[in-house]
Amino acid sequence: MSQANSDVVIDRGKSSWSDLWTKEDYWAIWIGVFILAVTLGCIWSNKSGLETKYNEYAAIIKAEKEKPIKTIEFFEATAKQKGLKGSSLDTVKSFIDTMKTPARWSDNPMDSLILSKAAADKANEAVKPKVDAAAAAEKDALAAARVAQDAAAAASYADAALNAEAEKAIGEWQKAKKATADAKKKIKKPFNRIPGLIILGLVLGGLVTLGAAVMGYNPLKFFLGFLGVYVLCVLANIFGNQLTGRKYGLNAEVWSIILGLLIANTIRTPKWLEYSAQTEYYIKTGLVLLGAEVLFHKIMAIGIPGIFVAWVVTPIVLVVTYLYGQHVLKIPSKTLNITVSADMSVCGTSAAIATAAACRAKKEELTLSIGLSMVFTAIMMIAMPAMIKALGLPGVLGGAWIGGTVDSTGAVAAAGAFLGNTAMQVAATVKMIQNVLIGVTAFFVALYWTTKVDVAEGEKVGLMEIWHRFPKFVIGFLGVSVFFSLLASNLGSFGAVIVDNGVLGVSKAGRGWFFALAFTSIGLTTDFRALAKYFKGGKPLFLYVAGQSFNIALTLLMAWIMFYKVFPEITAKI
């Protein structure tokens, strides 16, 4: 996210057809779309098989729903339908397995790369008897449920007492089934991530080097430099999967910055490594892949209350905070202002990345925004549940409040879980709706910057000029988002098989790696002292605190009005 200078940029560049293969924005789109198209192609070629099974289960579910009780067959068909995933197809599974990051670990970092069969068996010694016991209990519960259901069926489901007995027995079976599933999660399977990581490095290296070569870089130099950046990324992913660190929000992206900064500010980044530390290239590619996850039909998940909390309050807070930063705090850098405002009001790191790229913010500004967000997330994820409990607020209101205010998506779910399942459900859903807003945010920020900020005073920018200046990767990002949103919503509930549990398995993994590459590159090319300059006077901190205070107040008010005054019927059913 480099800028030629911090002054207003008057870009009189013209677009031409050759941009399609010489400009980084377009290569980000080609690489992102290529990965998504190959994945979708693999899944789509098996669509009819998946759809046939899906419809079979749907028919069973429909038939069983006619009965007065939810039968064993209903639950079995529902579970099988839920288990149908595009990501389970062999080719797609092999993509996802290759793209897997190092595993979670606690004491020994090597546990993240290799777990031998002997070590897995040893770790499972204590767990396996519990799994076997849970499986046996489930089998007994199923047998009892079958007997009770048969008795109810023999009376044609007309006997209320028999129906109640059957429902109770089936409920016990479902609990036993969940207990088995929970116990099985603790079973460790042997793995070896090293071959996958090597293949992934070569494939990603090949893809980005192809683009770099066409754009004028030396392909061999770039590829070798890329491998160096990739190795650091793998290290960052190892650290980012340390169990304790993850709980404090220290994921691979954060470790990527830390490692890069450490190298750049101690032994100095070698020139051969710096050659391939192409932050913008990687971040734009990651954003195009993220576009597949920005599914617009998700915004209706919790109805109109969710839209008001996430899509009405958020833009108001974003704009008001930005204006406060401009006119009251007089923050010198507009790009820093909008990046911090978006980070705080929308959804943390992912919003900061999208906004920073859209307005061409400096990489130090992105780093600072993420740092601020992390610090306040750590405070809010503990303080907000405590405050909600102290005030005696109901779970739905507390969850909506957390979802609309805590930055990090993971922290939102964790803070909601602290209050209970209802709060976690509402918090996660509200945050999901807010997450979807980043596509629109990136578009309008890019448009605003192109037409109002990066212009000379008094200059009017025509449509063609807007096109010339507009960051093209945003079009790719939104285009992918619109495509998959339309695809998923047109397929109805079957869309989850193709998109949510299909293509997204690969897009998530891909964007994770590209963001980690981008953040490593940021770290490798950042002077630590340059970061301190942006914090001078503490204005970004005041901006964050003021904006977040406003966000907290407005979100609570809106959540209360929508969930308790306007739509209490929805709240009653949650």
Name 9's Cβ contacts closer than 8 Å, sequence gap at least 6: 3, 360, 454
**Based on CB atoms, which residue is closest to another protein, 226 or 484?**
484
246 binding another protein? (CB under 8 A) = yes
50 binding another protein? (CB under 8 A) = no
Applying CB under 8 A, which of residues 22, 508, 531, 546 lies at the interface with another protein? 508
349 binding another protein? (CB under 8 A) = yes
Name 297's Cβ contacts closer than 8 Å, sequence gap at least 6: 485, 488, 489
Please work out, in degrees rounded to the nearest 5, the angle formed at the alpha carbon of residue 515 by the alpha carbons of 417 and 539. Answer: 75
**Based on CB atoms, which residue is closest to another protein, 215 or 235?**
235
**Based on CB atoms, which residue is closest to another protein, 169 or 346?**
346
- Residues 145-184 interacting with another protein (rule: CB under 8 A): none
The structure tokens listed for 430 are: 């509200």
Helix, strand, coil percentages in the chain from 3-state DSSP, rounded to 5: 80, 0, 20
Binding piece for another protein, criterion CB under 8 A, among 8-16, 142-150, 152-160, 374-382 = 374-382
Q: Are 493 and 47 in contact (CB under 8 A)?
A: no
Dihedral of CA 316/318/321/323: which sign? negative
Applying CB under 8 A, which of residues 28, 92, 233, 302 lies at the interface with another protein? 302
114's enclosing H/E stretch is: strand 114-115
Angle between helix 363-391 and 409-419 (nearest 10): 10
Q: Compute the distance between CA of residue 442 and CA of residue 370 in angstroms, rounded to an integer.
A: 17
Q: Compute the distance between CA of residue 246 and CA of residue 492 in angstroms, rounded to an integer.
A: 35
**Based on CB atoms, which residue is closest to another protein, 440 or 453?**
440
Binding piece for another protein, criterion CB under 8 A, among 86-94, 115-123, 190-198, 250-258 = 250-258
431 binding another protein? (CB under 8 A) = yes
Applying CB under 8 A, which of residues 240, 291, 325, 439 lies at the interface with another protein? 240
344 binding another protein? (CB under 8 A) = no
Q: Are 211 and 31 in contact (CB under 8 A)?
A: yes
435 binding another protein? (CB under 8 A) = yes
**Based on CB atoms, which residue is closest to another protein, 169 or 516?**
516
**Based on CB atoms, which residue is closest to another protein, 229 or 331?**
229
Considering only CA atoms, which of 361, 360, 339 is closest in space to residue 348?
A: 339
Count of residues that interact with another protein, criterion CB under 8 A: 68
Q: Compute the distance between CA of residue 205 and CA of residue 193 in angstroms, rounded to an integer.
A: 18
**Based on CB atoms, which residue is closest to another protein, 27 or 308?**
308
**Based on CB atoms, which residue is closest to another protein, 153 or 258?**
258
Applying CB under 8 A, which of residues 205, 395, 512, 523 lies at the interface with another protein? 512
Applying CB under 8 A, which of residues 429, 485, 525, 555 lies at the interface with another protein? 429
Binding piece for another protein, criterion CB under 8 A, among 161-169, 292-300, 334-342, 461-469 = 292-300
**Based on CB atoms, which residue is closest to another protein, 111 or 253?**
253
Write the binding mask 375 to 414 for another protein: x where contact by CB under 8 A, - elsewhere: --xx--xx---x---------------------xxxx-xx
Between β-strands 114-115 and 191-192, what pairing exists: parallel, antiparallel or unpaired?
A: antiparallel
543's enclosing H/E stretch is: helix 539-560
Q: What DSSP assignment string belongs to 55-107?
A: HHHHHHHHHHHTSSS--HHHHHHHHHHHH--GGGSHHHHHHHHHTPPPPPBSS
- As measured in angstroms, the least distance from the Cβ of 488 to another protein is 12
Applying CB under 8 A, which of residues 213, 263, 319, 486 lies at the interface with another protein? 263
Binding piece for another protein, criterion CB under 8 A, among 325-333, 448-456, 457-465, 494-502 = 494-502
- Terminus-to-terminus CA distance in the chain, angstroms? 43
428 binding another protein? (CB under 8 A) = yes
- As measured in angstroms, the least distance from the Cβ of 562 to another protein is 12
SS3 51: helix
Applying CB under 8 A, which of residues 91, 191, 202, 303 lies at the interface with another protein? 303
The structure tokens listed for 56 are: 């079979």
- Residues 197-216 interacting with another protein (rule: CB under 8 A): none
- As measured in angstroms, the least distance from the Cβ of 90 to another protein is 22
Write the binding mask 102 to 131 for another protein: x where contact by CB under 8 A, - elsewhere: -----x------------------------
Q: Compute the distance between CA of residue 80 and CA of residue 278 in angstroms, rounded to an integer.
A: 44
Q: Are 522 and 367 in contact (CB under 8 A)?
A: yes
Q: Are 416 and 425 in contact (CB under 8 A)?
A: yes
- CB neighbourhood size of 52 (10 A): 9
Q: Are 29 and 472 in contact (CB under 8 A)?
A: yes
Can you give the binding site for another protein, defined by CB under 8 A?
107, 185, 240, 242, 244-253, 258, 262-263, 266-268, 290, 293, 298, 300-303, 306, 347-350, 377-378, 381-382, 386, 408-411, 413-415, 417-418, 424-426, 428-429, 431-432, 435, 496, 500-501, 504, 508, 512, 515, 567, 569-574
